Amino acid sequence: MINAFYKEMTGKESVIRQFFDYSRKRAAEFGPDSVFDFSIGNPSVPAPESTTESMQRLLREKDPVSLHGYSPTLGQPTTKEAIAESLNKRFGMNYGANHIFPTSGAAGALSHALRAVTQPGDTVIIFAPYFPEYIPYITGTGAKVSIVPADTDAFQINFDKLEELLTPEVSAVLINSPNNPTGTVYTTETIRRLASVLEKKQEEFGHEIFLITDEPYREIVFKGTDSPFVSAFYDNSICCYSFSKSLSLPGERIGYLAVNPKAKDADLIVPICGQISRFTGHNCPSSLMQLALETELYITSDLSIYEKNAELLYNALTETGYSIVKPGGTFYMFPKSPIDDANEFCWSAAKELGLIIVPGDSFDCPGYFRISYCVPTERIEKSIPLFEQAFRKYK
């Protein structure tokens, strides 16, 4: 019989998806210019030419039997080595190839990391607002989710609430900085304080609390933003990365996890990830992609458009009267809705103005909405009067 749990889920469409679908429908009916779709976080800039050339070179020059052959269970050794070296050079770390596990994007990295450092029944802490897929990633391991409410003043960390929720059942804490949906970046002060709280609690409970850091936006940080490399501040940490945004390769499903060499059982965690793959049928990412990345670890796509769009939108919207915590990176911002019911605000903006934005309820933070500004700047410019209209309707 088909699985009842998953079957029930197929009926439930995510709100983000509903807005996206409405946008498609409206575009089909009234033309693409009638819609300003800020609902989805798809990179809008192409992969670097050198990345395409790296793939082409492998296809041209490397023996296909070895190029497309099985990757070792724990990943291509040369790729792992190159990733470790790049992190060591850039962030003063001391990773070895054995601490790197190539994964199917950040989703694969997070799912492996979570399974590796929890037992079924443990608790994992996350922070609102959060990427909604964290819930299935965590519950899929058999762990429970505990949610720290948002610090809506600065979208840093609500430490009082965190300390309250840090019970002995907690075996991992998952953070996402630079953050989706807020665009904010945890400061060095925030990370230091987080590390110190976790260290204190580890001591108190007599067991490790792993810090899992979801960092797909690490390379999209705007000028002047304090953006610490989290793993440098806390030993029991696993950094989860994806090349989806930095190299504009989301469909290639390529990322990695990097186990802090100072973590407890550091040398065991990657082999454990290899075992986890056997139970989920996940296996390594594409061997062509793994190999192609080796030369692409110090570059990014031209990400400057995201900063330009952020600046333009932030200035215009705050001038209009919106209240926004200024994004320090990513291609998201998370303004306060002019009315309490962000859901109503977003649907009205969609239907009356063709402005497709997503209510914060989807990220467990009602009263706010997310703008994904990974779109051509010209679309941002044209949308500004509509954001003004939407605001004026309610104020």
Sheet of 358-359, strand order: 332-333, 369-372, 358-359
Q: Does residue 28 sit in helix, strand or coil?
A: helix
CB of 288 to a copy of itself, least distance (A): 6
Supply the minimum distance, in Å, between the C-beta of residue 254 and a copy of itself. Answer: 8
Question: Measured from the CB of residue 132, what is the shortest distance to a copy of itself in angstroms?
Answer: 10
Least Cβ distance, residue 190 to a copy of itself (angstroms): 25
In the chain, % helix, strand, coil (3-state, to 5) comes to 45, 15, 40
Q: Which one of the spans 36-44, 152-160, 216-224, 305-313 is the region binding a copy of itself (CB under 8 A)? A: 36-44
Instruction: Pick the piece of the chain touching a copy of itself (CB under 8 A) from 83-91, 190-198, 262-270, 328-336.
Output: 262-270
Nearer to a copy of itself, 47 or 93 (CB): 47
Q: How large is the angle between the packed helices 105-117 and 266-280, nearest 10 degrees?
A: 110
In the complex with a copy of itself, which residue's Cβ is closer, 119 or 318?
119
In the complex, the smallest distance separating the C-beta of residue 158 from a copy of itself, rounded to whole angstroms, is 26
Enter the DSSP assignment of 349. Answer: I
- Residue 147: count other Cβ atoms within 10 Å of its Cβ: 17
Our CB check for a copy of itself shows the closer of 73 and 86 to be 73
**What would the x/- binding string for a copy of itself be over residues 267 to 306, using CB under 8 A?**
-xx-xx-xxx-xxxxxxxxxxxx-----------------
Rounded to 10 degrees, what is the CA torsion of 181, 186, 190, 196?
90
Residues 40-99 that bind a copy of itself (CB under 8 A): 42-47, 52, 55-56, 59-60, 63-65, 67-71
Asked if 114 contacts 240 with a C-beta cutoff of 8 angstroms, the reply is no
State the binding string over 205-244 for a copy of itself (x if CB under 8 A, else -): --xx------------------------------------
C-alpha separations of 252 from 84, 245, 280 in Å: 21, 11, 19
Binding mask 146-175 for a copy of itself (x = CB under 8 A): -------------------------x----
101-130 residues in contact with a copy of itself (CB under 8 A) are 103-105, 107-112, 115-119
> Residue 171 is inside which H or E element, if any?
strand 170-176
Backbone angles phi, psi at 209, to 5 degrees: -120, 115
Choose which of 34, 94, 139, 304 interacts with a copy of itself (CB under 8 A): 139
Asked if residue 252 binds a copy of itself (CB under 8 A), the reply is yes
Token duo for residue 314: 């932030």
Q: How far is CA 263 from CA 95, 231, 255, in A?
A: 11, 10, 21
